[in-house]
Amino acid sequence: MSDWLADTRDSYDTVSVSYAEQTRDLLDGLPHLRAALRLFAEEVRGPVADVGCGPGIITALLHGLGVEAFGIDLSPEMISLARRNHPGLRFEVGSMTEPLGEPVGGIIAWWSLIHVPDELVPVVLGHFHQALRPDGLLQLGFHVGDETRLKTQGYGGHPMRVHVHLRRPERVAEWLREAGFTVEAQWLLGDDGAVLFARRG
């Protein structure tokens, strides 16, 4: 496992409980993100992989919207927490840098691609494209900007070591098109967030 992947896994193992507590009700105050999730649920057909699912909050919300969703995360502690909190749903340890392993109708990756270095983003999007069925739907959420930050502490003051890559929507859209996707919509969320909808041809 590469250093950045190991650092990301270990960091989220460390903060898993605090992260779950701090993000449990996060969407209550974010109506535009809730709308993005509802739109995704309405449009997608077939099973959905929540890639970088963390403690399973988005996976469970999708399930509540009638979607056959399952979660994948790099952190074993996050997956253990997701299984405990949502015992009726499927969660498994995995990395977006590897092929998904099964065909799906949709993939949602909210603020998880942010830790992947630029040179590996096309590889990840290639895996997503390969896993999606024809006309499958992809939704990405990410921080907007032009820099990379090293996060050394977070979620209750616990130590972390993760690089957070801020990217412009037009750059992410370009990567998506190069991977074979059609970009259907780009939503800006204030000054520092974006959600992109893309579809596999």
pLDDT at residue 1 is higher than 80: no
Three-state SS string over the chain comes to: CCHHHHHHHHHHHHHHHHHHHHHCCHHHHCHHHHHHHHHHHHHCCCCEEEECCCCCHHHHHHHHCCCCEEEEECCHHHHHHHHHHCCCCCEEECCCCCCCCCCEEEEEEECCHHHCCHHHHHHHHHHHHHHEEEEEEEEEEEECCCCEEEEEEECCCEEEEEEEECCCHHHHHHHHHHCCEEEEEEEEECCCEEEEEEEEC
Section 133-159 average pLDDT: 94
Residue 127 sits at φ, ψ, to 5 deg, of: -65, -40
Closest CA to 96 of 77, 72, 76: 72
What average pLDDT score do residues 116-141 get? 98
How confident is the model at residue 198, as a pLDDT?
98
Whether residue 178 has pLDDT greater than 80:
yes
Question: Going from the N-terminus, what domains does the chain have, and what CATH number goes with each?
Answer: 3-155+168-200 (3.40.50.150)
Q: Cα torsion at 192, 26, 121, 3 (round to 10°)?
A: 110
Q: What is the pLDDT of residues 85-100, one digit of tens each?
A: 999 999 999 999 999 9
Percent of the chain with pLDDT over 70: 100
* 81, 60 contact by CB (below 8 A): no
Burial class from Cβ neighbours inside 10 Å (0-12, 13-18, 19+) for residue 83 reads middle
pTM of the model: 0.96
Calculate mean pLDDT across residues 14-43: 94
Mean pLDDT of all residues in 52-63: 97
